Structure 1
Amino acid sequence: MNLAPWSATHVAAGDGADPVTVSSGLRLGVVGLKMGLYLADWAQRVGLQVVAGCDRDPETRAAAAGRLPGANLTDRWEDLLELDLDGVVLANDFDAHAPPAMEFLEQGVHVLSESAACTTVEEGRRLIEAVDGSAATYSLAENYVAHPHVRAIREVVARGEVGRVELIEADYLHGMSPEMVDALIGDPAHWRGRIAPTAYCTHTMSPVLAITGARPVEVTAFTVDETNRRAAVVMVVRLSTGALAVTRHGFLQGEADSHWSWVSVRGSRGLVESGRGPGERAWSVRVRTEGWASDDGEIRDDERTPPPLFLAGDEVERRAEGTALILTAFRATIEHGAPPLVPVRPAVAAVLVGVMGAQSLANGSRPVPVPSVD
C-alpha cells in the first residue's frame, strides 16, 4: 500500500526548478466543469492541453468556454470517448467516477479522478481490474496527500524521527452555519445529500495511508451529534501495521480558515503534528522527540515550515501546492511512465473505509472489516 515516492519528474519544492516551459502536446479532457475548471487551469499551467470538456449544465459550459478557448465542450462525457485524448480529468459528481474511469481506461486514456474512486466494494474491484488490464494508468487527484504539511509529516516519519507510528489522527472539518450545512447536505438531489456521512473520507484517509504506508483493516464509525447524525462523524481505523488511525470529517465549529486539515502522528519516540494557526503557520509542523529518545537526553521540540514550491519560476500559493503537484505528477505519468502519485489500490482502499464505515454506523457503531484490495 506504499504510495509512489517523490521523484525527479515531480516539481521540486523550494529549489526554484522550472520543469514546465513549453506545452507537452498532451491532449486532456475534463469531465465536470466546476471543480474541473480549476483543475483544467492548473493542467494548462503544467503544460497539458485541455482540448475538451463536459458538463450537463449549459450555463457552466458557457462560463468554461472563455477559459478553455477552442475546447470541444459537450453535455455528455461519452462524447469525449470519441476524441483523441491522452488523459482525462474526472471532476463530475462524487459518486459517479468509476463508470467513466473504466470506459476511458478501456480506450487507453490515462485517468485522473478528482474524488471518490468507487462507491461499493464490487465497483472498487472492477476498477482495479480495469486498471490492471489497461495500457493506461489511474491516478487519484487527492491534493491533501501533496499539501505542504502532509508532505512534511511524511518526511519526518520516513526519517524515523518519531519512531514507529502508534497513533495517527487526521481531520477534514468545516465550520459553517446550520443553514449553510443544510444547503450542502440536505438536498437529496445533490451528491452531498446522497452520500453517506462517512463517504467523503479521502482527505483524511489518503494522507493516513500515504504517511504510514499501511492499509486499512477494520473501521468503527460514530456519529458526533445524535441530534444531527449527518453533520460530522469520527472513524476509528485499525491499520495493517498495528497502528490506530482516528479520522474526523464533516462540519464542526472552530477550525482554522486555512485548509481545514490537521494531521498528528504519535510514534514510539515522539510526535509530529501540523499547526492550526492562520497564515504560514497552518502549513508548518511541530516535531517533538522525547528526552529519553535523544542522544543527549534533551527534549527536542521545534516548529518547521516547508520550503516554498515553484512552478515555471513562480512561487505557488500554499493552498494550491497539492493541486500543482498532482497535475505535474499526472503529466509525468502520461509522458514518462512515472508511477501515479496516488494509484488505484490506495485510492480504492481509502474510499472503502467510508463504505464500510457506513455499514458500521448502520450496525450501531460495531467494527466492520475493510476488504483488502492488494
Structure 2
Amino acid sequence: MRIGVVGLGMGLHLARWCRTLGIEVAAVCDRDPARLAGALAELPDATGTADWRELLGAGLDGVVLANDFDAHAPLAMAFLDRGVHVLSETAACADETEGRRLIAAAEASSASYSFAENYPLLPQHRLLRQAVEAGELGRISLVEADYLHALSPAAMAELIGDPGHWRGRIAPTAYCTHTLSPVLALTGAWPVAVSAFPVDAPWGEGVDELAARAAVLLVVRLSTGALAVTRHGFLQGEPDGHWSWVSLRGSRAFAETVRAPGDRAWSVRFRREAWTRPAGSDGPAEEERVPPPLLWDGTPVDRAREATVLLLQGWRATVTEGRPPLLPVRPAVAASLVGVVGARSLAEGSRPVPVPDVSGRTSD
C-alpha cells in the first residue's frame, strides 16, 4: 500500500505510524519548505512537493489529508475523482454545500473516504461502546463530553489570535469532532439541532473578544431523543486521557471515563443503582474497568497511541481488503456540520438551529 501525505504537522506524525505499521509513505507535501525538508530527512524514500496536485498522478493507493483544518473537502474530492482512497484528518467540510458535494463524490468514487477521527477509538471510549452494545446502560438519555486544553492566556492568544492561521479564522464551534464523533458512535444517533453558548461573553466585565472565543458549550438534540452536552476549547481542568472526558446516563446505569491522572484516565467508572440489582443486593454497585492492552508485534502500544494505531490499521483494511471505513463520509459530515450550525447559533443568540440531515435515511 503506497500513500501520500498532505500537510506535515499532524501529517508527519501519521506518516511515522504508517511506516511503523508497514504502510509505504511514497510522497509528502507541504507549502512550508522547512517542514517539507524535515519530513524528507525522516522519509528519504519519499518524494516531496509543495503542490498537492502533483500527488494526483503519482500512482498512490491512498492519501492522508492533514492540511489546514477548513480546507480538506476540495482535496478529498479531487483524489476521490482519481480513484485514490482518502483518510481525512479534522473537519470534513466547511459548510453544508461542501459536505453534500463530498458525500456525492465519495459515493460515486471507486475509492473510499475515511474520516481520520480517532477519538471513538480511544481505550476508554471502546470500553464505553462495549457496555452500550451489551445493553448494560439501557436507553441512553444524556451524554456529556469534553475536549479541553488548559493553556495559559498567552499561549491561547498565540494559538487562536492570529487571523492568518486556520485556528484564528475558524469559528469557536468548528473544532467539535473530537466530542461529537464519540457521541454519535456511542449512541448510534444523528444530530438534529444544536444550540451553542460562549463560556465567556465579550460584554462581561474584564472579558475581551479573544476570551469569548476561547471556549464554547454545545447542546445537541440527537435523533434518538437523547441530549448531548459538549464542551470545547481552552478551559482550566484539562482531563487526562488525551484531553477527553465522556459520561453516559442510561435508563439502567451510569458510566463515565475516569477523571484521574496517569493510567487511570484510560479507565471507565460504572455505577448501577440498587433498584437495578438482584433482590437482596446491598446498595448501588460501582466498579472501575481497565481496558486490556493493545499489542503490536507482541508489545503493548502506548495508551495515547492506541487509537491512531487502530485508525491506520482500519484504513489499511479498507484500502487493501475492501472493508467498510471505520468512520465513513456521512457521519464525518454530520459531526462537522454540528460545528458549522453551532457557529450560526452562536451568532444568533444561542437559538436552536436544525442540523442538515445527511444520514441518507431520507432523500438528500
TM-score interval w.r.t. the shorter chain?
Answer: over 0.9
Asked if the contact 1:172–1:260 (Cα under 8 Å) also holds between the matched residues in 2, the reply is yes
Runs of 5+ consecutive residues of structure 2 not aligned to the other structure? 202-206, 360-364
**What amino acid maps onto 1:31 in structure 2?**
V
Q: Which residue of 2 aligns with 1:343?
A: 328
Which amino acid in 2 is paired with 1:255?
A: E
User: In the alignment, what sits opposite 1:9?
Assistant: none
Give SS of 2:53's match: helix
Contact 2:240 2:259 in 1 (8 A): no
1:22-50 Cα distance to aligned partner (Å, 9 max, x none): xxxx1000000111010001111222100
Q: Within 1, Cα distance between the matches of 2:122 and 2:94?
A: 25
Letter in 2 for 1:235: L
Q: Does 1:235 align with 2:210?
A: no
SS in 2 for 1:66: helix
Tell me, yes or no, if structure 1 residue 76 matches structure 2 residue 59.
no
CA distance in 2, matches of 1:88, 1:311: 23
Mean alpha-carbon deviation: is it higher for 306-315 or for 106-115? 306-315
Secondary structure (helix, strand or coil) at the match of 1:250 reads strand
Gaps of 5+ in 1: 1-25
Of 149, 154, 157 in structure 1, the residue corresponding to residue 124 of structure 2 is 149
Q: Retained in 2: the 8 A contact 1:218–1:367?
A: yes
1:281 corresponds to 2:256: no
SS at match of 1:218: strand
Residue aligning to 1:42: 17
- Post-superposition shift, 1:315? 1.1
Q: 1:242-257 counterparts in 2 under 5 A?
A: 242-257=225-240
**2 CA distance for matches of 1:331 and 1:296?**
49
Task: Give the conservation status (yes or no) of the 8 Å contact 1:161–1:289.
Answer: no
Structure 2 Cα separation of the partners of residues 312 and 134 of structure 1: 34
Provide the residue aligned with 1:180 in structure 2.
Answer: 155
Amino acid at match of 1:189: G
2:297 alignment counterpart:
312
1:7 maps to none
1:354 maps to 339
Counterpart Cα distance in 2 of 1:331 and 1:244: 34
Q: Distance in 2 between matches of 1:324 and 1:84?
A: 25
Q: How high is the TM-score relative to the length of structure 1?
A: 0.92
Q: Deviations over 1:234-273 (max 9, x none)?
A: 0000000000000000000022344110000000011010
Preserved CA contact (<8 Å) 1:202 1:351: yes
Deviation of the 1:313 alpha carbon: 2.0
User: Quick one: which of 287, 292, 316 aligns to 1:302?
Assistant: 287
Aligned to 1:333: 318
For 1:371, the equivalent position in structure 2 comes to: 356
Deviation (angstroms), 1:311 = 1.3
Distance in 2 (alpha carbons) for counterparts of 1:42 and 1:342:
19
Query: 2 CA distance for matches of 1:302 and 1:225?
Result: 36
Contact kept? 1:95, 1:116, Cα under 8 Å: yes
Q: How far did residue 297 of structure 1 move?
A: 5.3
Q: How many Å separate the matches in 2 of 1:291 and 1:161?
A: 14
CA deviation string 1:56-84 (max 9, x = no partner): 00000111012111101100111100100
The 1-side partners of 2:300 and 2:31 are apart by 35
Q: Which has the higher contact order (CA 8 A, sep 6+)?
A: 1
Name 1:23's counterpart in structure 2: none
**Alignment partners' CA distance in 2, 1:257 and 1:237:** 24
- Is the 8 Å Cα contact of residues 90 and 117 (structure 2) preserved in structure 1? yes
Question: Sequence identity of aligned pairs in percent?
Answer: 63
Q: Which amino acid aligns with 1:266?
A: R
Distance 1:341 1:206 in 2: 12
Residue 249 of structure 2: aligned partner:
266
Is the CA contact (8 Å cut-off) linking 1:291 and 1:297 kept in structure 2?
no
Match of 1:289, as an amino acid? R
**How far apart in 1 are the matches of 2:115 and 2:278?**
41
Find the aligned partners of 2:186 and 2:81 in 1 and give their Cα distance.
31
Q: What is the identity, as a one-letter code, of the residue corresponding to 2:263?
A: E
Correspondence 1:16-95 to 2 at 5 A? 26-95=1-70
1:323 to 299, 308, 316: 308
- Count of aligned pairs: 349
Q: Secondary structure at the match of 2:356?
A: coil
Which amino acid in 1 is paired with 2:170?
A: I
Q: Give the TM-score, by structure 2 length.
A: 0.95
CA RMSD of aligned residues (A): 0.9
Structure 1 residue 103 and structure 2 residue 88: aligned?
no
Contact 2:257–2:267 (Cα < 8 Å) also in 1: yes
Instruction: Report deviation, 1:158.
Output: 1.1
In 1, the alpha carbon distance for the partners of 2:155 and 2:280 equals 51
Q: CA deviation at 1:294?
A: 1.7
